[in-house]
Amino acid sequence: MNEPRPTNGHAKHTEEGASELAERARRAVQAARAAQERWRLEPLPARAAALTRAAKNMLRRRADVIALARQEIGKVEAEGIFNEALGPLDAVNGWVKVVERAASREPVRLNPVSFPRKSAYVDMVPRGVVGVIAPWNFPVAGLYRATIPALLTGNALVVKPSEHSPRTSAWLADQLAEVLPEGLVQVVQGDGRAGAALLDAGVDACVFTGSPEAGRRVRLHCAERGIPSSIEMGGKDAAIVLADCDLPRTVAGVTHWALANAGQSCGAIEVAYVDATIADAFVEALRRTWTRLRVGKDVAPLANRRQYDVVGAHVEDARARGAVVVCGGAPADVPLGYLPTVLDRCDERMKVVRDETFGPLLAVVRVSGAAEAVRRVNEARYGLGTSIWTGDVARAERLAERLDVGVVNVNNHSFSGAIPALPWSGTRETGFGVANGPHALSTFVRPRAVLVDRNRAPEVFWMPYDDALLELGDLLADAQLLKIERAWRIPLLLRRRLRTLRDFFR
C-alpha cells in the first residue's frame, strides 16, 4: 500500500561517471557565463520586465506545475497552487523593490578638508554565475526565492534540482529560459554528486537548501573553493502556546503550519510548548480537528519512502519513551500517506522533540509558562523559527527579543518566508544563510568602490618625503587630540609641501 512513487526517469542515471558529470556541469557554467556578460549590462528595469513576463507565463501555465508536483512528490492541489504556482510574480514585484533600494549606487560622503576635490560611490556588482542546489519539498518555491534576486542583480544561473523533484524544478528553469537570453539559465540534473560537480565547475556563488548533513558538505566544499554561499540546513520550528491565547485561532494556525505540505517544510511547526494550564483543552481541540482531515486531499502523503520511514521511526521512539498518541500514529490508506499525528507529554529524550521529523507530526511539550518555553527553544538543535500565540502582543514582542532564532511570528507562523523584504535565516544547526531581504543580496552581489579625484596637484603625503611632511604629520595628530598650540603652522607646511612636489615633478 505505502510503496514509493515510480521513478520519473528525468534525472540522470546514477551510474553516470564522474567525468561525464563534471563535463555536463562545466558546459552549463560556461554557457551561463557567456550569457551573463551581456545580461549584467542590462538595466534593472529591463531585467525586471523580462522576469515579469516569465512569471506571468508561469501563472498562465500553473496547471502544469501543479500536476508535476503532484506526480513527483504527492503535493495536494491546493498547496500546489498556493505554494508553488502563485508565488513567482509576487516575488518578482517584491524583489524589484528590495534590489532598487539595496543594490543601487550609493554615494559616499567624504570630508572635504581631509579629501579635497574627491568624490566616491559604491556599486553592487553581480558575482557572475550562481549555482542553486534546490530542495525537493518546495521544488518551485524553494527555487524562485533564490533565482529571482540572483537574476535581478545581473547574474546567470545553474540550477541543480533535487533528484526527487527534477521535472518540477526544471519546469521553473524552462519558463525562465523561454524569456531570458539564451544560455542564461542552465539545469544540471542528478543527485548529490551532480551538486559537487557543479561547485567544482567554477560557479561564483552557491545557494543550498536541504538537510544538515548535505549542507555541511556543501559549506565545506564552497569554503575550499572560496565560493560565497548561503546554506539553509533545516529546522525544528516550535510554537509557544500561552494560556491567554485565542484557542480556536491557535488551533487553526498550529494545524495549518504543522500539516501544510505534510509537515515537509523547514518552517513547519514540529513542537508545541504549551502552558500546562490549557494543555488539556489544546490537545483535545487538536484531536477533534486532526481526525477530520483527509490524507491525500487536505494533508499530502510523504514525498518519498525515506521520509515516510523517518516519520514512523519518530512515532515509535516517542511511544516507547512514554509519549501519548492522541491521534494518528499509523499509516493512511494512500501510498506513502501517514495519518496526522499528535503526540502528547513529550520531552527532550524523544526524537520528535530533538530531531527534524519533516512529517505530519506534532510533539506537545507541557511547560510551566513562557520562561520555560523560551529556554527550551533556545536549547534546541535548530534555530530557524518560532511562533508565539498569545492575546498580549506587547508581551510577545518582549519574548521575541529573548529567542535565539532567525524568525519570530506572533499569532501566525512561517508565511513570512514568502515576503521578499523580510530576511529568512537561522542559528545553530539551521545554518547562517539568509534568504530574502537586503541581507540576502551579499550572496549575489559584491561591493565595488569607485573614488574620483579632481585634483591636479600631487597629494601632500606623496613622495618624496622630507622634514616638512614629518612635522605636518605630528601637527595633524596633535590637532586630533585637540592640542592646537602650533596648529597655525599647518597651512604654512601644506604650502611648502606643494611647492616641493611641484618642483620635484616638474
Residue 435, helix vs strand vs coil: strand
Three-point CA angle 167, 172, 176, nearest 5°: 135
**DSSP assignment string, 59-123:** HHTHHHHHHHHHHHH---HHHIIIIIISHHHHHHHHHHHHHHHHSS-EEE---TTTSTTEEEEEE
Q: In the 3-class helix/strand/coil scheme, how is 333-400 assigned residue by residue?
A: CCCCCECCEEEECCCCCCHHHHCCCCCCEEEEEEECCHHHHHHHHHHCCEECEEEEECCCHHHHHHHH
Report residue 28 as a C-alpha cell.
552549463
Per-residue buried b or exposed e for 343-364, using 16+ beta carbons within 10 Å of the residue's own CB: bbbbbeebbbbbbbbbbbbbbb
Cell 565595488 sits on residue: 448
Strands 385-389 and 424-425 come out as: unpaired
| Active centre residues (catalytic) | 232, 266
Give the integer Cα–Cα distance in Å for 486 and 474. Answer: 10
Answer whether 135's CB lies under 8 Å from 164's CB.
Answer: no
Q: Which residues contact 473 (CB under 8 A, 6 or more apart)?
A: none
Cell 612635522 sits on residue: 471
Burial of 195 (C-beta count, 10 Å sphere; 0-12/13-18/19+): buried
Q: Identify residue 136 by its one-letter amino acid code.
A: W
Q: What is the Cα gyration radius of the chain? A: 28
Report residue 489 as a C-alpha cell.
603652522
> What is the strand order of the sheet 229-232 is part of?
185-187, 156-160, 129-133, 205-209, 229-232
Give the integer Cα–Cα distance in Å for 171 and 217. Answer: 27
In 250-360, where do the E strands start and end? 269-275, 324-327, 341-344
Answer whether 134's CB lies under 8 Å from 103's CB.
Answer: no
Strands 434-435 and 424-425 come out as: antiparallel
Q: Identify residue 392 by its one-letter amino acid code.
A: D
* CA–CA distances in Å: residue 374 to residues 246, 386, 404, 408, 417: 20, 10, 9, 12, 22
